[in-house]
Structure 1
Protein backbone atom coordinates (compact mmCIF):
# COMPACT_ATOMS: atom_id res chain seq x y z
CA UNK A 1 0.00 0.00 0.00
CA UNK A 2 2.80 2.37 0.86
CA UNK A 3 4.45 1.90 -2.54
CA UNK A 4 1.15 2.38 -4.31
CA UNK A 5 0.49 5.56 -2.34
CA UNK A 6 3.91 6.89 -3.31
CA UNK A 7 3.25 6.12 -6.95
CA UNK A 8 -0.12 7.86 -6.80
CA UNK A 9 1.41 10.88 -5.09
CA UNK A 10 4.24 10.99 -7.63
CA UNK A 11 1.74 10.80 -10.45
CA UNK A 12 -0.25 13.70 -9.02
CA UNK A 13 2.90 15.84 -8.69
CA UNK A 14 3.97 14.97 -12.25
CA UNK A 15 0.50 15.86 -13.51
CA UNK A 16 0.57 19.24 -11.76
CA UNK A 17 3.97 20.17 -13.18
CA UNK A 18 3.00 18.82 -16.57
CA UNK A 19 -0.11 21.00 -16.64
CA UNK A 20 1.93 24.01 -15.58
CA UNK A 21 4.33 23.42 -18.47
CA UNK A 22 1.59 23.47 -21.10
CA UNK A 23 1.28 26.66 -23.20
CA UNK A 24 -1.87 27.88 -21.49
CA UNK A 25 -1.22 31.43 -22.70
CA UNK A 26 -1.81 30.25 -26.27
CA UNK A 27 -5.20 28.70 -25.57
CA UNK A 28 -8.34 30.68 -26.52
CA UNK A 29 -9.02 33.32 -23.90
CA UNK A 30 -5.74 32.70 -22.08
CA UNK A 31 -3.37 35.01 -24.00
CA UNK A 32 -2.29 38.54 -23.11
CA UNK A 33 -5.07 41.04 -22.50
CA UNK A 34 -4.73 44.66 -23.53
CA UNK A 35 -6.55 47.90 -22.72
CA UNK A 36 -6.42 50.97 -24.94
CA UNK A 37 -4.80 54.06 -23.42
CA UNK A 38 -7.58 56.57 -23.95
CA UNK A 39 -5.46 59.71 -24.21
CA UNK A 40 -2.59 58.11 -26.15
CA UNK A 41 -3.98 56.41 -29.23
CA UNK A 42 -3.03 54.00 -30.75
CA UNK A 43 -1.12 52.76 -27.68
CA UNK A 44 -2.49 50.06 -25.41
CA UNK A 45 -1.44 48.74 -22.02
CA UNK A 46 -0.82 45.12 -21.08
CA UNK A 47 -3.27 44.03 -18.42
CA UNK A 48 -1.12 43.39 -15.34
CA UNK A 49 2.45 44.32 -14.45
CA UNK A 50 5.70 42.45 -14.15
CA UNK A 51 8.43 42.69 -11.53
CA UNK A 52 9.75 46.21 -11.06
CA UNK A 53 12.31 48.13 -9.04
CA UNK A 54 10.99 51.43 -7.77
CA UNK A 55 8.28 52.99 -5.65
CA UNK A 56 5.53 50.57 -4.52
CA UNK A 57 2.11 51.46 -5.91
CA UNK A 58 0.77 51.99 -2.39
CA UNK A 59 3.28 54.80 -1.86
CA UNK A 60 2.79 56.61 -5.15
CA UNK A 61 1.66 60.19 -4.56
CA UNK A 62 2.79 60.35 -0.93
CA UNK A 63 6.06 62.13 -1.68
CA UNK A 64 6.17 65.91 -1.95
CA UNK A 65 5.95 67.16 -5.56
CA UNK A 66 9.39 67.59 -7.15
CA UNK A 67 10.72 71.13 -7.39
CA UNK A 68 10.64 70.97 -11.17
CA UNK A 69 7.04 69.67 -11.30
CA UNK A 70 5.85 72.45 -13.62
CA UNK A 71 8.72 71.90 -16.03
CA UNK A 72 8.11 68.15 -16.01
CA UNK A 73 4.44 68.66 -16.85
CA UNK A 74 5.38 70.96 -19.70
CA UNK A 75 7.89 68.46 -21.07
CA UNK A 76 5.36 65.64 -20.79
CA UNK A 77 2.80 67.61 -22.78
CA UNK A 78 5.39 68.39 -25.44
CA UNK A 79 6.28 64.69 -25.76
CA UNK A 80 2.59 63.74 -25.85
CA UNK A 81 2.26 65.68 -29.11
CA UNK A 82 4.49 63.12 -30.89
CA UNK A 83 5.28 60.16 -28.63
CA UNK A 84 6.41 57.97 -31.53
CA UNK A 85 9.31 60.27 -32.38
CA UNK A 86 10.33 60.56 -28.72
CA UNK A 87 10.10 56.80 -28.19
CA UNK A 88 11.62 55.40 -31.34
CA UNK A 89 13.33 58.25 -33.19
CA UNK A 90 12.97 58.39 -36.95
CA UNK A 91 15.29 55.68 -38.25
CA UNK A 92 12.92 52.72 -38.32
CA UNK A 93 12.06 50.63 -41.36
CA UNK A 94 8.93 48.94 -42.65
CA UNK A 95 8.17 45.54 -41.19
CA UNK A 96 10.42 46.04 -38.15
CA UNK A 97 8.82 46.20 -34.69
CA UNK A 98 10.29 49.05 -32.61
CA UNK A 99 10.98 48.38 -28.92
CA UNK A 100 11.64 51.23 -26.48
CA UNK A 101 13.36 49.94 -23.36
CA UNK A 102 13.48 51.96 -20.11
CA UNK A 103 16.05 50.75 -17.61
CA UNK A 104 18.05 51.56 -14.50
CA UNK A 105 21.53 50.14 -13.88
CA UNK A 106 20.80 49.18 -10.27
CA UNK A 107 17.56 47.37 -11.12
CA UNK A 108 17.92 43.55 -10.84
CA UNK A 109 14.77 42.95 -12.90
CA UNK A 110 16.28 44.97 -15.74
CA UNK A 111 19.18 42.53 -15.90
CA UNK A 112 16.79 39.60 -16.23
CA UNK A 113 14.72 41.32 -18.91
CA UNK A 114 17.83 42.36 -20.86
CA UNK A 115 18.86 38.73 -21.18
CA UNK A 116 15.49 37.98 -22.74
CA UNK A 117 15.72 41.00 -25.04
CA UNK A 118 19.19 39.89 -26.13
CA UNK A 119 17.79 36.44 -26.92
CA UNK A 120 14.89 37.94 -28.85
CA UNK A 121 17.17 40.20 -30.89
CA UNK A 122 19.68 37.41 -31.55
CA UNK A 123 17.00 34.99 -32.74
CA UNK A 124 15.32 37.57 -35.00
CA UNK A 125 17.87 40.31 -35.79
CA UNK A 126 15.92 41.75 -38.72
CA UNK A 127 12.52 41.82 -36.98
CA UNK A 128 13.09 44.19 -34.06
CA UNK A 129 14.68 47.54 -33.47
CA UNK A 130 15.66 48.40 -29.89
CA UNK A 131 15.89 51.97 -28.61
CA UNK A 132 17.54 52.45 -25.21
CA UNK A 133 16.13 54.92 -22.66
CA UNK A 134 18.04 55.47 -19.40
CA UNK A 135 15.67 56.11 -16.48
CA UNK A 136 17.74 56.57 -13.29
CA UNK A 137 15.55 56.29 -10.19
CA UNK A 138 18.03 55.38 -7.45
CA UNK A 139 19.97 58.57 -6.87
CA UNK A 140 23.32 60.07 -7.89
CA UNK A 141 25.13 56.85 -8.83
CA UNK A 142 22.33 55.88 -11.18
CA UNK A 143 22.15 59.38 -12.64
CA UNK A 144 25.90 59.40 -13.28
CA UNK A 145 25.85 56.01 -15.00
CA UNK A 146 22.83 56.98 -17.10
CA UNK A 147 24.54 60.15 -18.32
CA UNK A 148 27.63 58.15 -19.21
CA UNK A 149 25.53 55.67 -21.16
CA UNK A 150 23.78 58.39 -23.15
CA UNK A 151 27.10 60.13 -23.80
CA UNK A 152 28.77 56.86 -24.88
CA UNK A 153 26.14 56.47 -27.59
CA UNK A 154 27.68 59.49 -29.31
CA UNK A 155 30.88 57.45 -29.71
CA UNK A 156 29.04 54.31 -30.79
CA UNK A 157 29.93 52.38 -27.63
CA UNK A 158 26.77 52.50 -25.54
CA UNK A 159 26.18 48.71 -25.61
CA UNK A 160 29.75 47.99 -24.45
CA UNK A 161 29.57 50.52 -21.61
CA UNK A 162 26.15 49.28 -20.52
CA UNK A 163 27.39 45.69 -20.35
CA UNK A 164 30.30 46.74 -18.16
CA UNK A 165 28.03 48.75 -15.85
CA UNK A 166 25.63 45.83 -15.54
CA UNK A 167 28.48 43.60 -14.37
CA UNK A 168 30.16 46.15 -12.08
CA UNK A 169 28.89 47.58 -8.77
CA UNK A 170 28.27 51.29 -9.36
CA UNK A 171 30.30 53.89 -7.52
CA UNK A 172 28.95 57.47 -7.43
CA UNK A 173 32.22 58.93 -8.65
CA UNK A 174 32.96 60.30 -12.08
CA UNK A 175 36.53 59.00 -11.89
CA UNK A 176 35.29 55.41 -11.55
CA UNK A 177 32.95 55.80 -14.51
CA UNK A 178 35.72 57.28 -16.64
CA UNK A 179 38.06 54.42 -15.75
CA UNK A 180 35.49 51.94 -17.05
CA UNK A 181 35.06 54.09 -20.16
CA UNK A 182 38.80 54.14 -20.78
CA UNK A 183 38.96 50.35 -20.46
CA UNK A 184 36.60 49.92 -23.42
CA UNK A 185 38.33 52.51 -25.59
CA UNK A 186 36.13 55.57 -25.15
CA UNK A 187 37.55 59.07 -25.48
CA UNK A 188 37.13 59.96 -21.81
CA UNK A 189 37.64 63.70 -22.27
CA UNK A 190 34.89 63.81 -24.85
CA UNK A 191 32.71 61.55 -22.71
CA UNK A 192 33.05 63.80 -19.66
CA UNK A 193 32.20 66.85 -21.75
CA UNK A 194 29.17 65.15 -23.31
CA UNK A 195 27.92 63.93 -19.92
CA UNK A 196 27.63 67.55 -18.78
CA UNK A 197 26.17 68.79 -22.09
CA UNK A 198 22.74 70.29 -22.69
CA UNK A 199 22.13 67.65 -25.36
CA UNK A 200 22.50 64.76 -22.92
CA UNK A 201 20.34 66.61 -20.39
CA UNK A 202 17.67 67.06 -23.05
CA UNK A 203 17.64 63.33 -23.76
CA UNK A 204 17.39 62.55 -20.05
CA UNK A 205 14.48 65.00 -19.74
CA UNK A 206 12.74 63.44 -22.73
CA UNK A 207 13.05 59.95 -21.25
CA UNK A 208 11.61 61.18 -17.95
CA UNK A 209 8.72 62.83 -19.82
CA UNK A 210 7.98 59.58 -21.66
CA UNK A 211 8.01 57.70 -18.35
CA UNK A 212 5.53 60.24 -16.98
CA UNK A 213 3.04 59.96 -19.82
CA UNK A 214 3.24 56.16 -20.03
CA UNK A 215 3.07 55.71 -16.26
CA UNK A 216 6.43 54.02 -15.63
CA UNK A 217 6.81 54.34 -11.87
CA UNK A 218 9.65 51.80 -11.77
CA UNK A 219 11.96 49.91 -14.06
CA UNK A 220 12.08 48.13 -16.39
CA UNK A 221 9.55 49.57 -18.79
CA UNK A 222 8.81 48.56 -22.38
CA UNK A 223 6.89 49.93 -25.29
CA UNK A 224 6.74 47.16 -27.90
CA UNK A 225 5.18 48.70 -30.97
CA UNK A 226 1.90 49.94 -29.55
CA UNK A 227 1.97 47.82 -26.36
CA UNK A 228 3.05 49.41 -23.07
CA UNK A 229 4.09 47.35 -20.05
CA UNK A 230 5.91 48.00 -16.80
CA UNK A 231 8.11 45.32 -15.26
CA UNK A 232 10.03 42.19 -16.21
CA UNK A 233 7.80 39.46 -17.65
CA UNK A 234 8.39 35.80 -18.60
CA UNK A 235 10.03 35.25 -21.98
CA UNK A 236 7.01 33.32 -23.27
CA UNK A 237 4.79 36.32 -22.61
CA UNK A 238 7.31 38.66 -24.24
CA UNK A 239 7.28 36.47 -27.35
CA UNK A 240 3.48 36.40 -27.41
CA UNK A 241 3.33 40.21 -27.26
CA UNK A 242 5.73 40.66 -30.16
CA UNK A 243 3.79 38.09 -32.16
CA UNK A 244 0.59 40.03 -31.46
CA UNK A 245 2.32 43.22 -32.60
CA UNK A 246 3.57 41.57 -35.79
CA UNK A 247 -0.01 40.50 -36.56
CA UNK A 248 -1.27 44.11 -36.52
CA UNK A 249 -2.26 45.42 -39.95
CA UNK A 250 -0.29 48.66 -39.77
CA UNK A 251 2.77 49.89 -37.88
CA UNK A 252 2.19 51.98 -34.80
CA UNK A 253 4.41 54.84 -35.97
Structure 2
Protein backbone atom coordinates (compact mmCIF):
# COMPACT_ATOMS: atom_id res chain seq x y z
CA UNK A 1 0.00 0.00 0.00
CA UNK A 2 2.80 2.42 0.87
CA UNK A 3 4.35 1.81 -2.52
CA UNK A 4 1.27 3.13 -4.25
CA UNK A 5 0.36 5.88 -1.79
CA UNK A 6 1.59 8.81 -3.89
CA UNK A 7 -0.17 7.49 -6.97
CA UNK A 8 -3.37 6.88 -5.02
CA UNK A 9 -3.21 10.43 -3.76
CA UNK A 10 -3.13 11.76 -7.28
CA UNK A 11 -6.09 9.59 -8.23
CA UNK A 12 -8.21 10.54 -5.25
CA UNK A 13 -7.52 14.24 -4.87
CA UNK A 14 -9.58 16.69 -6.90
CA UNK A 15 -7.62 18.82 -9.35
CA UNK A 16 -8.54 21.93 -7.35
CA UNK A 17 -6.74 20.57 -4.30
CA UNK A 18 -3.62 19.89 -6.32
CA UNK A 19 -3.81 23.34 -7.85
CA UNK A 20 -3.85 24.88 -4.37
CA UNK A 21 -0.29 23.65 -3.84
CA UNK A 22 -1.05 21.73 -0.63
CA UNK A 23 1.89 20.31 1.28
CA UNK A 24 2.45 16.58 1.61
CA UNK A 25 1.01 16.43 5.12
CA UNK A 26 -2.28 18.00 4.05
CA UNK A 27 -2.46 15.78 0.97
CA UNK A 28 -2.07 12.73 3.18
CA UNK A 29 -4.85 13.94 5.48
CA UNK A 30 -7.20 14.46 2.55
CA UNK A 31 -6.45 11.05 1.08
CA UNK A 32 -6.97 9.30 4.42
CA UNK A 33 -10.22 11.17 4.90
CA UNK A 34 -11.43 10.07 1.46
CA UNK A 35 -10.50 6.45 2.24
CA UNK A 36 -12.34 6.48 5.59
CA UNK A 37 -15.48 7.82 3.97
CA UNK A 38 -15.32 5.48 0.97
CA UNK A 39 -13.03 2.53 1.81
CA UNK A 40 -13.98 0.67 -1.35
CA UNK A 41 -12.25 3.26 -3.52
CA UNK A 42 -8.83 2.14 -2.32
CA UNK A 43 -9.22 -1.19 -4.14
CA UNK A 44 -10.39 0.57 -7.25
CA UNK A 45 -7.44 2.99 -7.09
CA UNK A 46 -4.92 0.19 -6.62
CA UNK A 47 -6.50 -1.68 -9.53
CA UNK A 48 -6.12 1.36 -11.77
CA UNK A 49 -2.48 1.82 -10.79
CA UNK A 50 -1.64 -1.86 -11.29
CA UNK A 51 -3.36 -1.86 -14.68
CA UNK A 52 -1.32 1.15 -15.74
CA UNK A 53 1.91 -0.43 -14.53
CA UNK A 54 1.09 -3.69 -16.30
CA UNK A 55 0.34 -1.85 -19.54
CA UNK A 56 3.62 0.04 -19.24
CA UNK A 57 5.56 -3.19 -18.70
CA UNK A 58 3.87 -4.84 -21.67
CA UNK A 59 4.64 -1.85 -23.89
CA UNK A 60 8.27 -1.86 -22.78
CA UNK A 61 8.57 -5.62 -23.40
CA UNK A 62 6.99 -5.29 -26.84
CA UNK A 63 9.51 -2.59 -27.71
CA UNK A 64 12.42 -4.78 -26.59
CA UNK A 65 11.08 -7.76 -28.54
CA UNK A 66 10.73 -5.58 -31.63
CA UNK A 67 14.25 -4.18 -31.46
CA UNK A 68 16.05 -7.27 -30.09
CA UNK A 69 14.31 -10.05 -32.02
CA UNK A 70 17.37 -10.86 -34.10
CA UNK A 71 19.64 -10.98 -31.06
CA UNK A 72 17.19 -13.27 -29.28
CA UNK A 73 16.39 -15.68 -32.08
CA UNK A 74 19.26 -15.51 -34.57
CA UNK A 75 22.41 -15.01 -32.52
CA UNK A 76 25.09 -17.17 -34.19
CA UNK A 77 26.86 -17.23 -30.81
CA UNK A 78 23.98 -19.02 -29.04
CA UNK A 79 23.60 -22.81 -28.77
CA UNK A 80 20.52 -24.25 -30.45
CA UNK A 81 18.54 -27.48 -30.42
CA UNK A 82 15.65 -28.66 -32.53
CA UNK A 83 14.98 -27.62 -36.11
CA UNK A 84 17.33 -24.86 -37.35
CA UNK A 85 14.66 -23.97 -39.93
CA UNK A 86 11.79 -24.11 -37.44
CA UNK A 87 8.95 -21.63 -37.85
CA UNK A 88 8.76 -20.89 -34.10
CA UNK A 89 11.69 -20.13 -31.82
CA UNK A 90 11.73 -20.82 -28.09
CA UNK A 91 14.40 -18.88 -26.20
CA UNK A 92 15.29 -20.10 -22.70
CA UNK A 93 17.38 -18.13 -20.21
CA UNK A 94 18.72 -20.59 -17.65
CA UNK A 95 21.28 -21.34 -14.96
CA UNK A 96 22.70 -24.81 -14.32
CA UNK A 97 22.23 -24.40 -10.56
CA UNK A 98 18.58 -23.39 -10.85
CA UNK A 99 16.42 -26.32 -9.65
CA UNK A 100 13.49 -25.14 -11.75
CA UNK A 101 15.70 -25.08 -14.85
CA UNK A 102 16.58 -28.70 -14.16
CA UNK A 103 12.88 -29.52 -13.84
CA UNK A 104 12.28 -27.98 -17.27
CA UNK A 105 14.49 -30.64 -18.91
CA UNK A 106 11.79 -33.30 -19.49
CA UNK A 107 9.31 -30.66 -20.61
CA UNK A 108 11.72 -29.27 -23.18
CA UNK A 109 12.41 -32.80 -24.39
CA UNK A 110 8.65 -33.39 -24.64
CA UNK A 111 8.19 -30.20 -26.67
CA UNK A 112 10.93 -31.18 -29.11
CA UNK A 113 9.44 -34.67 -29.44
CA UNK A 114 5.94 -33.29 -30.05
CA UNK A 115 6.89 -30.58 -32.55
CA UNK A 116 9.64 -31.03 -35.13
CA UNK A 117 9.24 -27.48 -36.42
CA UNK A 118 10.55 -25.70 -33.30
CA UNK A 119 13.96 -24.14 -32.78
CA UNK A 120 15.23 -23.84 -29.20
CA UNK A 121 17.81 -21.14 -28.48
CA UNK A 122 19.68 -21.41 -25.19
CA UNK A 123 20.85 -18.30 -23.36
CA UNK A 124 23.35 -19.23 -20.68
CA UNK A 125 22.54 -16.81 -17.84
CA UNK A 126 24.71 -17.76 -14.82
CA UNK A 127 23.35 -15.75 -11.92
CA UNK A 128 23.61 -18.20 -9.03
CA UNK A 129 27.25 -18.04 -8.08
CA UNK A 130 30.73 -18.95 -9.28
CA UNK A 131 29.75 -22.56 -9.96
CA UNK A 132 27.07 -21.37 -12.34
CA UNK A 133 29.57 -19.17 -14.17
CA UNK A 134 32.05 -22.04 -14.48
CA UNK A 135 29.34 -24.38 -15.77
CA UNK A 136 28.09 -21.86 -18.33
CA UNK A 137 31.59 -21.14 -19.62
CA UNK A 138 32.35 -24.86 -19.85
CA UNK A 139 29.11 -25.57 -21.70
CA UNK A 140 29.74 -22.78 -24.19
CA UNK A 141 33.32 -23.99 -24.63
CA UNK A 142 32.10 -27.53 -25.37
CA UNK A 143 30.74 -26.24 -28.68
CA UNK A 144 34.30 -26.25 -30.04
CA UNK A 145 34.23 -30.05 -29.64
CA UNK A 146 30.67 -30.40 -30.99
CA UNK A 147 29.37 -31.74 -27.69
CA UNK A 148 27.17 -28.92 -26.37
CA UNK A 149 23.88 -30.83 -26.34
CA UNK A 150 25.35 -33.94 -24.72
CA UNK A 151 27.26 -31.90 -22.15
CA UNK A 152 24.28 -29.60 -21.48
CA UNK A 153 22.05 -32.51 -20.49
CA UNK A 154 24.83 -34.09 -18.43
CA UNK A 155 25.30 -30.93 -16.34
CA UNK A 156 21.54 -30.53 -15.98
CA UNK A 157 21.41 -34.09 -14.60
CA UNK A 158 24.06 -33.52 -11.90
CA UNK A 159 23.23 -34.51 -8.35
CA UNK A 160 23.90 -31.43 -6.28
CA UNK A 161 25.30 -28.11 -7.39
CA UNK A 162 27.23 -27.51 -10.56
CA UNK A 163 30.71 -26.57 -9.34
CA UNK A 164 34.10 -26.89 -10.99
CA UNK A 165 34.74 -30.46 -9.84
CA UNK A 166 31.30 -31.80 -10.76
CA UNK A 167 31.27 -29.97 -14.10
CA UNK A 168 34.67 -31.41 -15.04
CA UNK A 169 33.46 -34.91 -14.11
CA UNK A 170 30.44 -34.42 -16.40
CA UNK A 171 32.78 -33.25 -19.16
CA UNK A 172 34.91 -36.37 -18.76
CA UNK A 173 31.80 -38.56 -18.86
CA UNK A 174 30.75 -37.20 -22.26
CA UNK A 175 34.26 -37.54 -23.66
CA UNK A 176 35.43 -33.93 -23.76
CA UNK A 177 39.11 -33.13 -23.95
CA UNK A 178 39.49 -31.33 -20.61
CA UNK A 179 42.66 -29.44 -21.48
CA UNK A 180 41.06 -28.04 -24.63
CA UNK A 181 37.85 -27.31 -22.77
CA UNK A 182 39.68 -25.19 -20.19
CA UNK A 183 41.47 -23.27 -22.94
CA UNK A 184 38.25 -22.69 -24.86
CA UNK A 185 36.47 -21.42 -21.74
CA UNK A 186 38.55 -18.25 -22.06
CA UNK A 187 37.53 -17.66 -25.68
CA UNK A 188 36.04 -14.19 -26.31
CA UNK A 189 32.84 -15.65 -27.76
CA UNK A 190 32.15 -17.37 -24.42
CA UNK A 191 32.30 -14.09 -22.49
CA UNK A 192 30.35 -12.35 -25.26
CA UNK A 193 27.48 -14.84 -25.02
CA UNK A 194 27.13 -14.40 -21.27
CA UNK A 195 27.32 -10.61 -21.53
CA UNK A 196 24.60 -10.64 -24.20
CA UNK A 197 22.41 -12.85 -22.01
CA UNK A 198 22.77 -10.40 -19.13
CA UNK A 199 21.88 -7.46 -21.36
CA UNK A 200 18.85 -9.12 -22.92
CA UNK A 201 17.53 -10.42 -19.59
CA UNK A 202 17.71 -6.94 -18.06
CA UNK A 203 16.04 -5.39 -21.09
CA UNK A 204 13.20 -7.92 -20.92
CA UNK A 205 12.73 -7.39 -17.19
CA UNK A 206 13.55 -10.98 -16.24
CA UNK A 207 14.58 -11.38 -12.61
CA UNK A 208 15.28 -15.10 -12.41
CA UNK A 209 15.62 -18.41 -14.19
CA UNK A 210 14.19 -20.09 -16.09
CA UNK A 211 12.66 -17.42 -18.30
CA UNK A 212 11.32 -17.95 -21.79
CA UNK A 213 10.55 -15.92 -24.89
CA UNK A 214 8.13 -17.64 -27.26
CA UNK A 215 6.91 -15.44 -30.06
CA UNK A 216 5.48 -12.32 -28.45
CA UNK A 217 5.08 -14.02 -25.07
CA UNK A 218 7.40 -13.61 -22.11
CA UNK A 219 7.12 -16.50 -19.68
CA UNK A 220 9.24 -16.13 -16.54
CA UNK A 221 9.38 -19.17 -14.27
CA UNK A 222 8.87 -22.89 -14.71
CA UNK A 223 6.51 -23.82 -17.53
CA UNK A 224 5.55 -27.35 -18.43
CA UNK A 225 5.33 -29.06 -21.79
CA UNK A 226 1.62 -28.41 -22.34
CA UNK A 227 2.13 -24.70 -21.64
CA UNK A 228 5.11 -24.58 -24.02
CA UNK A 229 3.13 -26.33 -26.72
CA UNK A 230 0.24 -23.89 -26.32
CA UNK A 231 2.54 -20.84 -26.49
CA UNK A 232 4.19 -22.29 -29.59
CA UNK A 233 0.75 -22.74 -31.19
CA UNK A 234 -0.11 -19.14 -30.40
CA UNK A 235 3.17 -17.90 -31.86
CA UNK A 236 2.67 -20.01 -34.99
CA UNK A 237 -0.87 -18.67 -35.44
CA UNK A 238 0.37 -15.08 -35.04
CA UNK A 239 2.98 -15.68 -37.73
Q: Normalising by structure 1, what TM-score? A: 0.63
Equivalent residue for 1:101?
A: 92
Unaligned runs of 5+ in 2: 1-53, 77-82
Mapping 1:1-253, distance limit 5 Å: 37-41=58-62, 82-89=67-74, 96-125=87-116, 127-168=117-158, 169-170=160-161, 172-173=163-164, 176-248=166-238, 250=239
Query: Is the deviation greater in 135-144 or in 110-119?
Result: 110-119
CA distance in 2, matches of 1:94, 1:220: 24
Kindly state the Cα deviation for residue 189 of structure 1 after the two structures are TM-superposed: 2.0
Aligned Cα root-mean-square deviation (Å): 2.6
Contact 1:97-1:245 at 8 Å conserved across structures: yes
TM-score by length of 2: 0.66
Aligned residue number for residue 76 of structure 1: none
Structure with more of its chain in helix, by fraction? 2
Distance 1:123 1:43 in 2: 29
Contact in 2 for aligned 1:101/1:132 (Cα 8 Å): yes
Q: Over residues 71-94 of structure 1, what are the superposed CA-to-partner deviations in whole Å (9 max), with x where a residue is unaligned?
A: xxxxxxxxx8x5122212267866
May I ask how many residue pairs the two structures share in their alignment? 178
The 3-state SS of whatever aligns with 2:132 is helix
**Separation in structure 2 between the aligned mates of residue 171 and residue 239 of structure 1, nearest angstrom:** 29
Looking at both structures, which has the greater relative contact order when contacts are Cα pairs under 8 Å and sequence separation is at least 6? 1
Q: Specify the SS of the correspondent of 1:39.
A: helix
Alpha-carbon deviation of 1:95? 5.8
- CA–CA separation in structure 2 for the residues paired with 1:166 and 1:108: 9
Q: Secondary structure at the match of 1:154?
A: helix
Asked if structure 2 preserves the Cα contact closer than 8 Å seen for 1:42 and 1:226, the reply is no
